[in-house]
Amino acid sequence: MDITRSPYKGLMPYTEEDAELFFGRDRDCAVITANLFASRLTILFGASGVGKSSVLQAGVAHKLRQKEGTAVVVFSDWHGAPLENLRQAVQDEMKRVLGTSLDQEEAMSFKDFLADCALRIDGQLVIILDQFEEYLLYYPGDKGPGSFVTEFVRVVNSRDVPVSFLIAIREDSLAKLDRFKGRIPQLFGNYLRLDHLDEKAAREAIEKPLEKVGWEWEAELVEAVIDQVRVGRIGLGEVGRGEIRKPSEAEARVRIETPFLQIVMTRLWDEEQASNSRQIHKRTLKDLGGAAQIVRDYLDAFMDGLPPKHQAISAAIFHYLVTPSGTKIAQSARDLAVYANQDRKRIAKVLSTLAGPARLLRTVAAARAGGEPRYEIYHDSLAPAVLHWRGRYYQQRREIRVRRWTIGLGIFLVALASLAIVLSLVSREIERSAARATSTVAKATAQAGAETATAALDSETQATADFRVWQTAQAQATAAYNNLQAVQAQAMATSTRLVAATPEPGGTEVPSFDPTVTAVVETATAAAQSLQIAEQKVVAAAAELKATATAAASATAVARELREQLQTAGITGRGVKVAILSTGIDATHPDLAGRIAATEDFVGEGIGDSNGFGTFLAGIVVGNGVASGGLYKGLAPEADLYIAKVLDANGAGRMNDMIAGLKWAVEQKVDIVLVPLGGVSGCDGSDELSQEADAAVEAGLVVVVSAGNQGPGSETIVSPGCARLPITVGAAELNKVADFSSRGPTLDGRTKPDILFSHSGVGAQATGTEMGTVVASGYVKATGSGISATHAAGAIALLLQMDSDLSPAEVKALLMETATDLGVEPNAQGAGRANIEGALARVRDRDEDGIPDVEDACPDEFGSSLAGGCPEPPTSTATPTLTPMPSATPTSTPSPTWTPTVSVPITKTIEITGGVQVQMVYVSAGEFIMGSDEGDSDEQPVHTVYLDAFYIDRIEVTNAQFAQFLNEQGNQEEGGVTWLDIGNESCLITKSGGQYEPKSGYSDHPVIEVSWYGARAYCRWAGKRLPMEAEWEKAARGTDGRVYPWGNTFDGTKLNFADKNTGFDWSNSNWDDEYAGTAPVGSYPNGASPYGALDMAGNVWEWVADWYEAYPGSSFQSPYYDGQYRVHRGGSWRAEKLLVRAAERQWNSPANSVANVGFRCVQSR
Q: Does 289 have pLDDT greater than 50?
A: yes
**DSSP conformation class of 88:** H
Element (H, E) at 316: helix 308-321
Instruction: For residue 1146, list its beta bridge partners.
Output: 1128
pLDDT higher at 1143 or 481 = 1143
Answer yes or no: are the C-beta atoms of 811 and 704 closer than 8 Å.
no
Among 1054, 1056, 1050, CA closest to 1008: 1056
Instruction: For residue 71, list its beta bridge partners.
Output: 125
pLDDT higher at 673 or 557 = 673
Provide the 10 A C-beta neighbour count for residue 20: 14
Q: Distance between CA atoms of 484 and 478, rounded to whole angstroms?
A: 10
Provide the 10 A C-beta neighbour count for residue 304: 11
Q: Distance between CA atoms of 291 and 323, rounded to whole angstroms?
A: 27
Query: Minimum mean pLDDT among 486-490, 589-593, 812-816: which range?
Result: 486-490
Helices 258-274 and 290-304 meet at what angle, rounded to 10?
80
Among 1032, 887, 900, CA closest to 953: 1032
Residue 767 class from Cβ within 10 Å (0-12 exposed, 13-18 middle, 19+ buried)?
middle
**DSSP conformation class of 601:** E
Query: Minimum mean pLDDT among 199-213, 438-452, 630-644: which range?
Result: 438-452
Q: Where are the alpha helices (DSSP H) in 453-570?
A: 464-501, 515-568
Give the contacts of 694 (CB within 8 A, at least 6 positions apart). Answer: 685, 723, 724, 725, 726
Among 873, 883, 878, 861, CA closest to 948: 883
Instruction: For residue 483, list its beta bridge partners.
Output: none
3-class SS of residue 960: helix
Query: Minimum mean pLDDT among 582-586, 840-844, 995-999: which range?
Result: 840-844
Percent of the chain at pLDDT above 70? 74
Q: Distance between CA atoms of 575 and 924, rounded to whole angstroms?
A: 25
pLDDT higher at 1013 or 322 = 1013
Tell whether the torsion through CA atoms of 855, 860, 862 and 864 is positive or negative: negative
Q: Does 137 have pLDDT greater than 60?
A: yes
**DSSP conformation class of 602:** S
Instruction: For residue 146, list its beta bridge partners.
Output: none
3-class SS of residue 762: strand
Answer yes or no: are the C-beta atoms of 959 and 1034 closer than 8 Å.
no
Q: Distance between CA atoms of 437 and 473, rounded to whole angstroms?
A: 9
Cα 1009 versus chain centre, distance:
43
Cα 1151 versus chain centre, distance:
41
| HEC readout, 482-506 | HHHHHHHHHHHHHHHHHHHHCCCCC
Helices 1012-1021 and 959-969 meet at what angle, rounded to 10?
80
Q: Distance between CA atoms of 819 and 757, rounded to whole angstroms?
A: 10
Answer yes or no: are the C-beta atoms of 841 and 597 closer than 8 Å.
no
Give the contacts of 236 (CB within 8 A, at least 6 positions apart). Answer: 242, 295, 296, 384, 385, 388
Tell whether the torsion through CA atoms of 668, 674, 680 and 686 is positive or negative: positive
Q: Distance between CA atoms of 21 and 3, rounded to whole angstroms?
A: 11
Q: What is the longest distance spanned by two Cα atoms in the chain?
A: 133
Instruction: For residue 950, list its beta bridge partners.
Output: 923, 1164
Q: Distance between CA atoms of 695 and 666, rounded to whole angstroms?
A: 9
Q: Does 504 have pLDDT greater than 50?
A: no
Answer yes or no: are the C-beta atoms of 1126 and 984 closer than 8 Å.
no
Give the contacts of 796 (CB within 8 A, at least 6 positions apart). Answer: 672, 702, 704, 727, 811, 815
Element (H, E) at 827: helix 826-829
Q: Give me the pLDDT at residue 1029, please.
A: 95
Answer yes or no: are the C-beta atoms of 449 and 781 closer than 8 Å.
no
Instruction: Report in angstroms the alpha-carbon separations of 555 from 560, 733, 784, 1039.
Output: 9, 11, 18, 15
Answer yes or no: are the C-beta atoms of 965 and 980 closer than 8 Å.
no
869 confidence band (pLDDT: 50, 70, 90): very low
Provide mean pLDDT across the span 450-473: 37
Q: Give me the pLDDT at residue 552, please.
A: 47
Q: Distance between CA atoms of 649 and 768, rounded to whole angstroms?
A: 12
Answer yes or no: are the C-beta atoms of 63 and 117 closer than 8 Å.
no
Q: Does 987 have pLDDT greater than 50?
A: yes
Q: Does 96 have pLDDT greater than 80?
A: yes
Provide the 10 A C-beta neighbour count for residue 525: 13
Provide mean pLDDT across the span 1041-1058: 91
Q: Give me the pLDDT at residue 1065, please.
A: 57
Q: Distance between CA atoms of 750 and 826, rounded to whole angstroms?
A: 10
pLDDT higher at 1059 or 356 = 1059
3-class SS of residue 941: coil
Q: Distance between CA atoms of 746 and 850, rounded to whole angstroms?
A: 39
486 confidence band (pLDDT: 50, 70, 90): low
Q: Does 150 have pLDDT greater than 50?
A: yes
**pLDDT tens-digit profile of 551-572?**
444 445 445 556 666 766 678 8
Provide the 10 A C-beta neighbour count for residue 969: 15
Answer yes or no: are the C-beta atoms of 1120 and 1108 closer than 8 Å.
yes
Residue 1069 class from Cβ within 10 Å (0-12 exposed, 13-18 middle, 19+ buried)?
exposed
**pLDDT tens-digit profile of 679-695?**
767 888 888 899 999 99
**pLDDT tens-digit profile of 688-728?**
899 999 999 999 999 999 999 888 899 999 999 999 999 99
Q: Does 425 have pLDDT greater than 70?
A: no
Q: Where are the alpha helices (DSSP H) in 331-418?
A: 333-340, 344-354, 382-414
> What is the β-pairing status of strands 191-193 and 163-170?
unpaired
**pLDDT tens-digit profile of 3-19?**
678 899 887 889 999 99
Instruction: Report in angstroms the alpha-carbon separations of 22 from 3, 202, 225.
Output: 15, 11, 18
Answer yes or no: are the C-beta atoms of 974 and 987 closer than 8 Å.
no
DSSP secondary structure letters along 92-110: HHHHHHHSS-----TT--H
Q: Distance between CA atoms of 382 and 108, rounded to whole angstroms?
A: 42
List of long-range contacts for 1105-1112, beta carbons under 8 Å, 24+ apart: 1105/879, 1105/1016, 1105/1025, 1105/1026, 1105/1027, 1105/1028, 1105/1029, 1106/1028, 1106/1029, 1108/938, 1108/1145, 1108/1147, 1110/938, 1111/930, 1111/931, 1111/938, 1111/939, 1111/940, 1111/941, 1111/943, 1112/884, 1112/890, 1112/943
pLDDT higher at 787 or 178 = 787
3-class SS of residue 609: coil
Q: Distance between CA atoms of 662 and 981, rounded to whole angstroms?
A: 70
pLDDT higher at 32 or 840 = 32
pLDDT higher at 706 or 1041 = 706
**pLDDT tens-digit profile of 993-1008?**
999 999 999 999 999 9
